[in-house]
């Protein structure tokens, strides 16, 4: 049964290396969300010595920090427990130890306070963020680019996603992270590559553009990553300038591929997205990349699409996107039983066939 609005939701995110809690208010259909608080503890310092996320360390860090962050989120929002209408937490996909920490915490609060509980697909959090920021109506085209996923989807409604394309190997964020690691640029990889690329010559290394020119809108990044390694290995010594040039060449190749694939998706989506709704939304951590934002905006406009991208801090993982998606679900009366389990893998479009050549990615 739909619920009376406004709805004030606490959102908890613990699926990777950010521990996050937020309070968001949904005032009603067609209105943007109001972020009352949004606190994120980044575990960068804990993982940096290992050059990437260590799942066990992430889970422990979530345990250590989550309670304090929830308290802070309520305090920043200037509300008490009685002001909440529901608790939402990421239930997957992600690193399972971390997911369990957030999920069990949310269930504990929901049970103790007698509040509705929503166990969310993390990807739905990214997918619906543009409705919180820009009050976008359904349907719209979504390019979801994060550390674990690269997908093009038509967002038809809450819980309704039609996948047009996906990666057949690495996710784009994963490619950024691996390239950063092999160039010794550090972790987290995406921002490190972007920073290095600013000083680099994007034309120095002619890297491949996998899948470009092929029909459809699937992606592949594994070959590009290998080509980057070969470019680095082909140099006698790798100077700071070499690294910058490789980073810039890699970033340009990614931008070319993402734009071309997304242009194909816009052409395909024309059949299902009516003229007044032609909007391209970019979401997920990689959407924080300035070059990609600029190139995708040009592509969108060339295809007659409006371009919508959330502010930087709402692209990377955060609690507000989880609270908002929880509010969207609760508004429709969609809650989860208290015994809903965590899910390491959880595709947004369960009907989509695996991409040709795909491994195990959702
Ligand atoms: O959405 P997100 O915060 O977490 C997941 O759900 O995976 O995305 C994290 C990914 C990482 O691979 C990170 O390297 C990438 O997003 N990323 C970036 C940038 N900022 C974060 N990639 C490219 N450029 C950036 N500025
Ligand atoms: Zn994410």
| pLDDT at residue 51, as a whole number | 86
Q: Per DSSP, what are the bridge partners of residue 42? A: 18
Neighbouring C-beta atoms of residue 223, cutoff 10 Å: 15
Helices (H), the chain: 44-47, 55-77, 96-113, 122-134, 172-182, 189-197, 222-233, 240-269, 290-302, 312-315, 319-331
φ, ψ of residue 14 in degrees (nearest 5): -145, 30
| pLDDT at residue 2, as a whole number | 66
* CB 157, CB 353: distance < 8 Å: no
DSSP single-letter state for residue 285: G
The residue whose CB lies within 8 Å of the most ligand 1 atoms, and thus the one to mutate among 18, 42, 102, 286, is: 286
| Mean of all residue pLDDT scores within the chain | 95
* pLDDT-derived band at 19, boundaries 50, 70, 90: very high
Beta carbon of 98 within 6 Å of any ligand 1 atom: no
pLDDT, average across residues 277-306: 97
Q: Which ligand has the minimum distance to the alpha carbon of residue 191? A: 1
* Contacts of residue 303, Cβ cutoff 8 Å, sequence gap at least 6: 263, 266, 267, 278, 280
Beta carbon of 347 within 6 Å of any ligand 1 atom: no
If 0-12 CB within 10 Å is exposed, 13-18 middle and 19+ buried, where does residue 212 land? middle
φ, ψ of residue 41 in degrees (nearest 5): -105, 115
Confidence check: pLDDT of 208 > 50:
yes
DSSP single-letter state for residue 276: G
* pLDDT-derived band at 360, boundaries 50, 70, 90: very low
Q: What is the pLDDT of residues 169-187, one digit of tens each?
A: 999 999 999 999 999 998 8
| pLDDT at residue 1, as a whole number | 66
**What does the alpha-carbon distance between residue 36 and residue 24 come to, in Å, rounded to a whole number?**
5
* CB 113, CB 81: distance < 8 Å: yes
**What does the alpha-carbon distance between residue 163 and residue 309 come to, in Å, rounded to a whole number?**
19
3-state secondary structure of 24: strand
3-state secondary structure of 360: coil
Confidence check: pLDDT of 36 > 70:
yes
DSSP states of 51-77: TS--HHHHHHHHHHHHHHHHHHHHHHH
Beta carbon of 93 within 6 Å of any ligand 1 atom: no
Q: What is the pLDDT of residues 119-162, one digit of tens each?
A: 999 999 999 999 999 999 999 999 999 999 999 999 999 999 99
* pLDDT-derived band at 362, boundaries 50, 70, 90: very low
Q: What is the pLDDT of residues 67-95, one digit of tens each?
A: 999 999 999 999 999 999 999 999 999 99
**What does the alpha-carbon distance between residue 324 and residue 126 come to, in Å, rounded to a whole number?**
10
* pLDDT-derived band at 355, boundaries 50, 70, 90: low
* Contacts of residue 30, Cβ cutoff 8 Å, sequence gap at least 6: 135, 137
| pLDDT at residue 359, as a whole number | 42
Closest by CA position to 149, among listed 217, 219, 96: 219
**What does the alpha-carbon distance between residue 200 and residue 191 come to, in Å, rounded to a whole number?**
14
**What does the alpha-carbon distance between residue 253 and residue 203 come to, in Å, rounded to a whole number?**
10
| Cis status, amide bond into 39, omega within 30 of 0 | no
Q: What is the pLDDT of residues 221-265, one digit of tens each?
A: 999 999 999 999 999 999 999 999 999 999 999 999 999 999 999
| pLDDT at residue 3, as a whole number | 81
CA of 360 to the centre of ligand 1 (A): 20
Beta carbon of 188 within 6 Å of any ligand 1 atom: yes
**What does the alpha-carbon distance between residue 299 and residue 260 come to, in Å, rounded to a whole number?**
8
Half-sphere exposure of 290 (CA within 13 A, CB side): 8
Tell me the torsion sign for CA atoms 53, 146, 22, 122: negative
pTM score, two decimals?
0.95
* pLDDT-derived band at 352, boundaries 50, 70, 90: confident
Confidence check: pLDDT of 357 > 70:
no
* CB 98, CB 122: distance < 8 Å: no
Report the nearest-CA residue for atom 2 of ligand 1: 285
Beta carbon of 191 within 6 Å of any ligand 1 atom: yes
């Amino acid at each position: 049964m739909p619920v009376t609005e406004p709805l004030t939701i606490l959102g908890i995110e613990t699926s990777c290396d950010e521990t996050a809690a937020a309070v968001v208010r949904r005032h009603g259909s067609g209105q943007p969300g109001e972020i009352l608080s949004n606190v994120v503890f980044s575990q960068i310092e804990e993982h940096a010595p290992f050059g990437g996320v260590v799942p066990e360390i992430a889970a422990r860090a979530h345990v250590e920090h989550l309670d304090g962050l929830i308290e802070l989120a309520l305090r920043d929002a200037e509300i008490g427990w009685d002001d909440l209408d529901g608790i939402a937490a990421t239930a997957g996909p992600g690193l399972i130890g971390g997911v369990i920490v957030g999920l069990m915490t949310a269930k504990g609060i929901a049970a103790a306070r007698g509040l509705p509980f929503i166990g969310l697909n993390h990807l739905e959090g990214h997918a619906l963020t543009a409705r919180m920021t820009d009050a976008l109506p359904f349907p719209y085209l979504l390019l979801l680019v994060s550390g674990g996923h690269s997908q093009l989807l038509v967002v038809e409604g809450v819980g309704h996603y039609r996948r047009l394309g996906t990666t057949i190997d690495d996710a784009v964020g994963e490619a950024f992270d691996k390239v950063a690691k092999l160039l010794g640029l550090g972790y987290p990889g995406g921002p490190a590559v972007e920073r290095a690329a600013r000083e680099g010559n994007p034309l120095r290394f002619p890297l491949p553009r996998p899948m470009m020119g092929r029909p459809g809108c699937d992606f592949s990044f594994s070959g590009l990553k290998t080509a980057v390694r070969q470019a680095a290995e082909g140099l006698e010594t790798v100077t700071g300038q070499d690294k910058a040039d490789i980073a810039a060449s890699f970033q340009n190749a990614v931008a070319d591929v993402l734009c071309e694939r997304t242009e194909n998706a816009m052409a395909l989506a024309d059949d299902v997205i009516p003229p007044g709704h032609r909007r391209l939304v970019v979401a997920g951590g990689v959407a924080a990349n300035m070059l990609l934002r600029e190139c995708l905006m040009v592509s969108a406009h060339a295809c007659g699409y409006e371009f919508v991208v959330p502010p930087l801090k709402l692209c990377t993982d955060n609690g507000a996107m989880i609270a908002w998606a929880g509010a969207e679900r609760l508004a429709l009366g969609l809650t989860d039983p208290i015994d809903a389990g965590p899910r390491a893998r959880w595709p947004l479009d369960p009907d989509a066939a695996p991409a040709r050549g795909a491994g195990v990615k959702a």
